[in-house]
Every structure is written in C-alpha cells, then in structure tokens.
Amino acid sequence: MDRTQRNQASPTGAASSGAAPAVGGCRAISSAPSPCRLAGTVLIVAPFRIDRYGQRYHSRREIRIDLTGIAPGSYQVLAVHNFHVEDCNPCLTECVAGVFLAARRSDGSWEAPERFPVECRAVGVLGTLQVPDDAGLAEFEP
C-alpha cells in the first residue's frame, strides 16, 4: 500500500482519536505513542490495537525482532493485517495484526507489504527504524 496512513497505536491497546502529521499525503488518524522500543539489537513491539477500515486489528502479544539479521538501511515499521495466521475469533470485525519492516527503496519510496508473498495488508505506520551499517545500534523514531 503506497499511501499508508500513519497510525500509532497505544501500548495499552486504546487508539487515540487525535491527529498526527500526515505521511505519504494521507491524513493521520492517531497521535498515541508508538508501542515500539529498542533494547540493544532487538525491536520490541508491545501489544497494540488499531481501529481502521471498520475493523479492529489486535496484536495481543509482544513481538520481538532481532535486528542483527536485518540489512542496513531505513525501514518503516508497519502494523499489518496478518492473513497468514488463522484467527479462530468468531467476531468478524476483529483481525490479527502483525509487524512488517518496509525498506526504503533507492528511489525514496517504501516497500509495500502487499507486494510480497507474506499475506498481509498495511494498516498503519508505527515508526521509522534506522539500521546502521557499522557496529552501532539501531535507532527508532515513532
């Protein structure tokens, strides 16, 4: 999704209704703090909830991403609707959320998760991650 709207979810699971700066020409829909933080070489994404498209997207468990295997560069940390996970929840308005690291391309655009065979759809940007090409630590900006 090339026109992903910025949506930062609260680590407590409550989405805010305030407006944050627009990304990619689209109006933002939340200004709550990002659920992401760095612990050394690990990106930790706390459980979050995003309400969008008439659906509620949940990540009910902490997600940890070891950045030592990630190529150096800039990444958008995207919340995605994860179609690959079987969801046994009978409520059809609730969906399983996951995280996708979208790399910045050489032309300045971001990769779109929908163009990869991982069965997901972008629902919001949680922040930007910079993975260094030296022994330095990664940097995260909500």
- pLDDT tens-digit map of 38-67: 999 999 999 999 999 999 999 999 999 999
- Answer whether residue 139 is part of any domain: no
Would residue 138 count as lying in a domain? Answer: no
* Helices and strands counted in the chain (H then E): 0, 9
- The whole domain housing 37 covers 1-133
What's the whole-model pTM score?
A: 0.73
**Cα separation of the two ends of the chain:** 20
In a domain, 140, yes or no: no
Q: Domain for residue 70, yes or no?
A: yes
Tell me the per-residue pLDDT of 107-141, one tens digit each, with 9 for 90 and over: 999 999 888 877 788 999 999 999 998 878 899 99
Do the domain assignments include residue 141? no
Report how many domains make up the chain. 1
Return d(Cα 111, Cα 120) in angstroms, integer: 13
Q: How would you label 96-127 residue by residue, b for 16+ Cβ within 10 Å and e otherwise?
A: bbbbbbbeeeeeeebbbbeeeeeebbbbbbbb
